[in-house]
Amino acid sequence: MPQFRIPGPLRNLSGGQPVVEVQAEDLRGAIDALDGLHPGFRGRLLDDQGEPREFVNLFLNEDDVRLGDGLASKLKATDEIAIVPAVAGGA
């Protein structure tokens, strides 16, 4: 099953688990499934329009999903979705 990698600041929602597996066809479905298992994730990841919040980056394996199909990205069983705070790097 595809799995989410949960960053430290959100592990209070996942009961401390750094990795959560979900059953889903696409990324939006995966977030719904994650929220079903651990309520609160949808609101932390998505805004009122259902789009990723300003400071949330979602990576499907190597790539930022905004460079691909966004929340419509199809998932394979081996995919890893990383939730990464946007604020890092540079100067």
Partner 1 sequence: MQTPIGAAAPVTRSRRVLGLRCRACGQEYETQATHVCTACFGPLDVAYDYAEIRRRASRASIEAGPTSMWRYRDLLPLPDEAPIVSLGEGMTPLIKADRLGAELGLRNLYLKNDSMNPTNSFKDRVVSVAISWARAQGFQTFGCASTGNLANSVAAYSARAGMDCYVFVPDDLEAAKVTATSVFQPHLVAVRGNYDQVNRLCSQLLEDVPWGFCNINLRPFYAEGSKTLTYETAEQLGWRLPDEIVIPIASGCQFVRHRRAVGELIDLGLVAEPADQPRLTGAQALGCAPVYNAWRAGSRRVQPVRPDTIARSIAIGNPSDGGDVVRIAAETGGVVEAVSEPEIVDAIRLLARTEGIFTEPAGGVTIGVLAKLARSGRWSGEEVVVAYVTGHGLKAAEAVADAKFDHVIEIDPSLRSFHERVLGTAKE
84 beta partners: 57
Sites of contact with partner 1 (CB under 8 A): 5, 7-9, 18, 44, 53-57, 59, 62, 64, 66-67, 82, 84-91
Q: What is the nearest approach in angstroms of partner 1 to the Cβ of residue 86?
A: 5
Tell me whether residue 23 or residue 84 sits nearer to partner 1 (CB atom).
84
Q: What is the nearest approach in angstroms of partner 1 to the Cβ of residue 66?
A: 5
Tell me whether residue 12 or residue 23 sits nearer to partner 1 (CB atom).
12
Strand ranges (DSSP E) for the chain? 3-5, 19-21, 56-60, 63-64, 80-85
